[in-house]
Structure 1
Amino acid sequence: MLSRTLLCLAVLNVSTPLLADTVWLKNGDRLSGKIKVFDGGKLLIQTDYAGAIPIDWKQVKTLESDQELLVKQDAYVGEKAKSLKAAEDGKVILANGEAPKIVELASIQQIVKPKPLIEDFVWKGNVDVALDYKRADKDTDDYDIDLKTSARHGAWRHNAEASYNREAQNDVVTTNNWNAEYALDHFIDEHWYWQGRLNYTRDRIEDISRQRTVGTGPGYQFWDDELGAFSLGSLLNRTDYEYSDGGKSNFYSLAMKWDYNRYLVGKTVSIFTNGELGKPLGGDSDYSLDAEIGLRYKVTEWASLNLKAEKDLIGSSSGKDNALNKTRYTAGFGVMW
């Protein structure tokens, strides 16, 4: 009798599915998995059978989840729900003990996992490292390290970037520079934001030894979710140069920035590009371009391989020789979060 009881319990445990979130669609389909995030009009659900699936929020009829989730109906205020329960079409129940609340799906702007301190805090970024050692007629050592990260809370987003590049041939250093940038975005609504930026570059080899740029201007965020982001910004900049011989100069310029990344193949491969195109104000016809494009392949949840092409250009629309025209190709590894 005891053995039969144990057998029945074992069969029951095997046959009972693990708790999973469920999403019902307007076309009658139903998806089961784990809700990761809803942002930018896309609900991302992680499944065992098809990986991460993005769902258009307008196609969702209702949903349920046993996770504790933060449901935000505007950019500033969110309500923490112990679980979500299915409701009638176009609605969901926020279950909080004895006080459940029914809300319209159309009124929800974001669903995220609450953080321990700042509940709607979203932090992401990556560090890429490329190393090149060549032993031939010319021994070459090349180091390239890049950091990019952003953190958002409510209507504010903090962006930070840093890079270091050093190259030596036959023990003679030919490239040695580093760059750091901080930008603060304040979102006016879901898409429009205003940015303030500070950029500093230190070069120990080139004639321009120090470069400081302060800028401000509006930007537009097309989307920013678990599957990627795309934004365009315009800036009015003041740039100060310090030369290796002690000279100084400064000028004002207009610039356009872009930042695009998108996951492909079930969040395994991503394509990214970012950069800035600038034009000094006044009679000078020179322009500058600083851009990169690349691919990143996720080996694990946090480790990745990457291929990048970087372009630095200072040119002239009048046909004069370029003061700078450099293209670099790198392959390396990195971590991401």
Structure 2
Amino acid sequence: MRKLRKDDIAMAKTGVWLLLPVFFALISEIAAQGDTLALRNGDRIHGDIKSMDRGVLKIATDYSKEDFKVDWDEIAFLRTTTRFIIMSKDNHRFLGNLLTRDSTRVLVMDEGDTLATLSYQEVIFLNSLKPKFLDRLSASIGLSYNFTRANNLRQFNVRSTVGYRAKKWSITGSYNDLRSFQEGSPSIRRLNADVQVSYYLRKNWFGVAAVNWLSNTEQLIQLRTVSKVGLGKYLFRTNRANWGFAGGISFNNEVFAQDGTNPRNRSGEGFIGSELNLYGMDDLQLSSQLVAYPSLTEGGRWRIDHSFDIKYDLPLNLYLGLGFTVNFDNRPRENASRSDYVFQTSFGWKL
């Protein structure tokens, strides 16, 4: 056997040093592309899974500037190196990785140990343990504007939402505004907004604290502010829909637009409400909320707030929206209507 010469050893060392950057680049590439999924049509995607919510999984890849969005039901195989917050439909939470066991079940793993075996339908939420702020944020804004030369009629409306979700809590908000101006007629304005914080407990229970604001000319309400706290429970939660109830107490502070002996009114109320969200219908999403407020300090008075929204998704994160909101008060301000409602159509964008 020929002995290695000094020149051979030097060349070998040089080759090793030249290959080291390539080796580390490959290791870096493997680490960056640690998650793999295969679809039922045979396509495979390698990248970094960011999240899965409402039946849609987001995965970032090096070959696309935009995140891919994949229907959760279309995934046939899944293997992750990313660690996630994983939530099941019975509100159990896990920290770990995912690995497909068969075509219907996935394993929740942590450092080689199996924490749980779940069906695909039982997994309703994933979020990376190191997400960017925008990965936890959701938002939408829809606008519309109408102008008619006759009587110089101008109408403008906005219907918008925003939300942020963490491991054990979430905050959501909405802002809906409609304004109408016409020569020879009083201006019409209707504003409805809210902010809600939810804290998730065991067995699909959650605590809730919220503030609602309402202003409308039909009921002579300059501003109604309702602060409430309570407890709720989801009757079911899947990656296609959720339905829950909540109840508690609230404080109602009203300022009326009409002058009089009592321009303000304060009262204590109870509240009980229900919210239904459907988002597993291809490009269609539906949400409905109904809340009743029986008064605790004004005998016989009760109010109802109801909202209903439909969104149809378009390419480029655009959508068409239809919204309906109604407010009812069986004991309104003198000379005011008992109810006010609005239909809003909009063209918008969502995050």
Aligned residue in 2 for 1:311:
326
2 CA distance for matches of 1:303 and 1:288?
35
Q: Structure 2 vs 1, CA of residues 94 and 32 (structure 1 numbering), >3 Å: closer, same or farther?
A: farther
Q: CA deviation at 1:192?
A: 0.8
Aligned residue in 1 for 2:300:
285
Q: CA deviation at 1:163?
A: 2.1
Local SS of the residue matching 1:273: strand
Aligned residue in 2 for 1:329:
343
Determine whether 1:54 maps to 2:54.
Answer: no
- Can you give the 5+ residue segments of structure 1 that lack an aligned partner in the other structure? 1-18, 24-28
Q: Check conservation: 1:234, 1:254, Cα contact below 8 A.
A: yes
2 CA distance for matches of 1:144 and 1:332?
8
2 CA distance for matches of 1:261 and 1:102?
32
Q: Check conservation: 2:219, 2:338, Cα contact below 8 A.
A: no
Determine whether 1:79 maps to 2:95.
Answer: yes
Q: Check conservation: 1:85, 1:94, Cα contact below 8 A.
A: no
2 CA distance for matches of 1:66 and 1:72?
12
2 CA distance for matches of 1:102 and 1:291?
44
> Hey, which of these two has a bigger chunk of strand by percent?
1
| Residue 198 (structure 2) aligned to one of 164, 185, 193 | 185
TM-score scaled by structure 2? 0.67
Q: Check conservation: 2:267, 2:297, Cα contact below 8 A.
A: no
Matches within 5 A, 1:218-229: 218-223=231-236, 226-229=239-242
Matches within 5 A, 1:20-99: 21-22=37-38, 52=71, 54=73, 63-66=77-80, 68-72=82-86, 78-81=94-97, 84=99, 86=101, 92=107, 94=109, 99=111
Q: CA deviation at 1:175?
A: 1.7
Aligned residue in 2 for 1:198:
211
2 CA distance for matches of 1:306 and 1:38?
23
- Can you give the 5+ residue segments of structure 2 that lack an aligned partner in the other structure? 1-34, 60-69
User: Could you give the per-residue CA deviations for residues 266-320 of structure 1, whole angstroms, max 9, x where no partner exists?
Assistant: 2x1122222322221255323322212232110125110012232222236xxx9
1 CA distance for matches of 2:103 and 2:158?
52
2 CA distance for matches of 1:63 and 1:94?
15
Aligned residue in 1 for 2:66:
none
Q: Structure 2 vs 1, CA of residues 261 and 71 (structure 1 numbering), >3 Å: closer, same or farther?
A: closer
Residue 323 of structure 1 aligns with an amino acid whose one-letter code is S
Q: CA deviation at 1:154?
A: 2.0
TM-score scaled by structure 1? 0.69
| Residue 147 (structure 2) aligned to one of 133, 139, 153 | 133
Aligned residue in 2 for 1:294:
309
Residue 141 of structure 1 aligns with an amino acid whose one-letter code is R
Residue 145 of structure 2 aligns with an amino acid whose one-letter code is L
Q: CA deviation at 1:143?
A: 1.5
1 CA distance for matches of 2:184 and 2:129?
49
Q: Structure 2 vs 1, CA of residues 286 and 166 (structure 1 numbering), >3 Å: closer, same or farther?
A: same
Residue 112 of structure 1 aligns with an amino acid whose one-letter code is L
Residue 101 of structure 1 aligns with an amino acid whose one-letter code is D
Residue 206 of structure 2 aligns with an amino acid whose one-letter code is Y
Residue 73 of structure 2 aligns with an amino acid whose one-letter code is P
Local SS of the residue matching 1:54: helix
Q: CA deviation at 1:323?
A: 3.2
Aligned residue in 2 for 1:12:
none
Q: Structure 2 vs 1, CA of residues 88 and 158 (structure 1 numbering), >3 Å: closer, same or farther?
A: closer
| Residue 117 (structure 2) aligned to one of 77, 81, 105 | 105
Q: Check conservation: 1:315, 1:321, Cα contact below 8 A.
A: no
Q: Structure 2 vs 1, CA of residues 311 and 260 (structure 1 numbering), >3 Å: closer, same or farther?
A: same
Q: Structure 2 vs 1, CA of residues 153 and 180 (structure 1 numbering), >3 Å: closer, same or farther?
A: same
Q: Check conservation: 2:51, 2:126, Cα contact below 8 A.
A: yes
Identity of matched residues, %:
10
Determine whether 1:159 maps to 2:190.
Answer: no
Q: Check conservation: 2:252, 2:267, Cα contact below 8 A.
A: yes
| Residue 262 (structure 1) aligned to one of 264, 269, 278 | 278
2 CA distance for matches of 1:247 and 1:145?
29
Q: Structure 2 vs 1, CA of residues 141 and 89 (structure 1 numbering), >3 Å: closer, same or farther?
A: closer
Q: Structure 2 vs 1, CA of residues 105 and 261 (structure 1 numbering), >3 Å: closer, same or farther?
A: same
Aligned residue in 2 for 1:273:
288
Q: Structure 2 vs 1, CA of residues 254 and 182 (structure 1 numbering), >3 Å: closer, same or farther?
A: same
Aligned residue in 2 for 1:150:
163
1 CA distance for matches of 2:118 and 2:72?
20
2 CA distance for matches of 1:189 and 1:31?
38
Give the alignment's Cα RMSD to 1 decimal: 4.2
Q: CA deviation at 1:257?
A: 2.5
User: Could you give the per-residue CA deviations for residues 155-180 of structure 1, whole angstroms, max 9, x where no partner exists?
Assistant: 21212122222111127552234343
2 CA distance for matches of 1:298 and 1:30?
23
Number of residue pairs aligned between Structure 1 and Structure 2: 295
Q: Structure 2 vs 1, CA of residues 71 and 314 (structure 1 numbering), >3 Å: closer, same or farther?
A: closer
